[in-house]
Amino acid sequence: MSTGRPGGLWARWKALLARQETGEALAVFRVFVGFCALWAVAVPMQYGVAEFMWADTGYRGEGMDADTLRWVLRLGVVSSVSLILGIGGRVSAFVTLQVCIAFMTLHPAASGAHDRLIKNALWLLVLANSTATLSLDCRLKTGAWTSDRLVSAWPRYLAVLQLFIMYQATGIQKISPEWTPLGGFSALWYIVRSDMWMRFDADWLPYWFTQFSTAGTWIWEWCAWVFLYALWCRDKRPATHWANRYDLRTLWAAWGIGMHMILYVLTVLGPLSWATLAWYACLWHPDEYRAGWRRLAGRLRPSVDPASG
Amino acid sequence: MSQPNRLRAWFIELRAVLILAHIVVIGLQAFPAPVGGASKGTRETPSVRGMIADASAITGLPEAQVDALVFGGVETWIAARKKVLKPFSPYYKWAGTKQSWRMMAIINRRSARLRVEIDGALAYRTADSEARWRAEIIESARMRGAVIKYAWKLNRGDYKRLSAWIIDEAVADYGEDVDVRICVERAAIPGPEDPPPRVRCGWEITR
pLDDT, tens digit, 9 for 90 and up, residues B19-37? 999 999 999 999 888 776 6
Q: Do residues A193 and A237 share a domain?
A: yes
Does the pLDDT value for residue A11 go beyond 70?
Answer: yes
A190 found inside a domain: yes
Half-sphere exposure of A256 (CA within 13 A, CB side): 27
Q: Among the listed ranges A114-118, A170-174, B79-83, B109-113, which one has the minimum average pLDDT value? A: B109-113
**What total number of domains does chain A contain?**
2
Write down the domain spans for chain B: 31-95, 110-206
Asked if the C-beta of A123 comes within 8 angstroms of chain B's C-beta atoms, the answer is: yes
Smallest Cβ–Cβ distance between A49 and the set B4, B31, B137 belongs to B137
Residue A100 near residue A34 (C-beta atoms within 8 A): no
What pLDDT is attached to residue A306? 54
Q: Which 203-222 residues of chain A touch chain B by CB within 8 A?
A: 207
Does the pLDDT value for residue A176 go beyond 90?
Answer: no
Q: Do residues A109 and A168 share a domain?
A: no
Q: Which 52-91 residues of chain B touch chain A by CB within 8 A?
A: 54, 58
Judged by CB atoms closer than 8 Å, whether chains meet at B99 and A169 is answered as yes
Strand partners, A151: A21
pLDDT in tens, B39-84: 766 677 776 788 788 888 888 899 989 988 988 888 898 899 999 9
B2 CB neighbours in chain A (<8 A) are 147-150
Judged by CB atoms closer than 8 Å, whether chains meet at B146 and A110 is answered as yes
Q: Which 146-205 residues of chain B touch chain A by CB within 8 A?
A: 146-149, 151, 155, 158, 161-162, 164-165, 189, 191-192
Judged by CB atoms closer than 8 Å, whether chains meet at B26 and A165 is answered as yes
Domain boundary residue among A129, A152, A175? A152
φ/ψ of residue B123, rounded to 5 = -105, -40
Domain boundary residue among A152, A182, A207? A152
- Chain B residue with minimal CA distance to A61? B161
Q: Do residues A88 and A188 share a domain?
A: no
Does the pLDDT value for residue B145 go beyond 80?
Answer: no
Pairwise CA distance, residues B120 & B105, whole Å: 39
A298 found inside a domain: no
Q: Do residues A119 and A242 share a domain?
A: no
What is the secondary structure of A43-98 as a DSSP string? GGGGGGHHHHHHBTTSTTS-SB-HHHHHHHHHHHHHHHHHHHHT-SHHHHHHHHHH
Q: Do residues A110 and A234 share a domain?
A: no
Residue A133 near residue A140 (C-beta atoms within 8 A): no
Burial of A52 (0-12, 13-18, 19+ CB in 10 A): buried
B197, containing H or E segment:
none
A13 found inside a domain: no
Q: Among the listed ranges A12-21, A47-56, A115-124, B114-123, which one has the minimum average pLDDT value? A: A47-56
φ/ψ of residue A215, rounded to 5 = -60, -45
A5 found inside a domain: no
Residue A62 neighbours by CB under 8 Å, 6+ apart: A56
pLDDT in tens, A274-289: 999 999 999 999 999 9
Q: Do residues A72 and A162 share a domain?
A: no
What pLDDT is attached to residue A19? 96
Hey, what amino acid is at B64? Answer: A
SS3 of B72-111: the string is HHHHHHHHHHHHHHHHHHHHHHHHCCCCCCCCCCCCCCEE
Does the pLDDT value for residue B182 go beyond 50?
Answer: yes
Rounded percentage of chain A residues whose pLDDT exceeds 70: 96
Half-sphere exposure of B43 (CA within 13 A, CB side): 14
Closest to A1 (Cα-Cα) out of B13, B24, B61: B13
A188 found inside a domain: yes
Half-sphere exposure of A39 (CA within 13 A, CB side): 19
Q: Do residues A221 and A121 share a domain?
A: no
For chain A, how far is it from start to end, CA to CA, in angstroms? 67
Distance of residue B175 Cα from the nearest chain A Cα, in angstroms: 19
Judged by CB atoms closer than 8 Å, whether chains meet at B127 and A195 is answered as yes
More confident residue, A34 or B5: A34
Pairwise CA distance, residues A69 & A30, whole Å: 25
pLDDT in tens, B77-106: 889 999 999 999 998 888 777 888 888 888
More confident residue, A14 or B54: A14
What is the residue-averaged pLDDT of chain A? 91
Half-sphere exposure of A84 (CA within 13 A, CB side): 13
- Chain B residue with minimal CA distance to A40? B142
Hey, what amino acid is at B177? Answer: D
Closest to A268 (Cα-Cα) out of A144, A114, A50, A68: A114
CB contacts < 8 A, A to B, total 186
DSSP A200: S
pLDDT in tens, A63-104: 899 999 999 999 999 999 999 999 999 999 999 999 998 888
A83 found inside a domain: yes
Mean pLDDT throughout A197-224?
A: 92
What pLDDT is attached to residue B202? 80
| DSSP reduced 3-state for B187 | strand
Q: Please list, residue by residue across B101-120, b when 16 or more beta carbons sit within 10 angstroms of its beta carbon and e when fewer do.
A: bbbbbbbbbbbbbbbbbbee
Residue A122 near residue A139 (C-beta atoms within 8 A): no
A191 CB neighbours in chain B (<8 A) are 104, 107
Rounded percentage of chain A residues whose pLDDT exceeds 90: 75
Rounded percentage of chain B residues whose pLDDT exceeds 70: 89
Strand order across the beta sheet in which B200-206 lies: B121-125, B110-118, B180-188, B200-206
Strand partners, B113: B185
pLDDT in tens, B194-204: 888 888 888 88
Mean pLDDT throughout A165-186?
A: 90
With cut-offs at 50, 70 and 90, classify the pLDDT of residue B2: low
Domain membership of residue A85 as a residue range = 20-152
| DSSP reduced 3-state for B35 | coil
φ/ψ of residue B40, rounded to 5 = -60, -40
Smallest Cβ–Cβ distance between B101 and the set A43, A166, A182 belongs to A166
Does the pLDDT value for residue A1 go beyond 60?
Answer: no
Residue A128 neighbours by CB under 8 Å, 6+ apart: A26, A90, A151, A152, A155, A156
pLDDT in tens, A219-277: 999 999 999 999 999 999 999 999 999 999 999 999 999 999 999 999 888 889 999 99
pLDDT in tens, A108-157: 878 888 999 999 999 999 999 999 999 999 999 999 999 999 999 999 99
Hey, what amino acid is at B142? Answer: R
Asked if the C-beta of A241 comes within 8 angstroms of chain B's C-beta atoms, the answer is: no
Closest to B177 (Cα-Cα) out of B120, B119, B116: B119
Q: Do residues A224 and A178 share a domain?
A: yes
Half-sphere exposure of A94 (CA within 13 A, CB side): 8
Judged by CB atoms closer than 8 Å, whether chains meet at B100 and A116 is answered as yes
Does the pLDDT value for residue A309 go beyond 50?
Answer: no
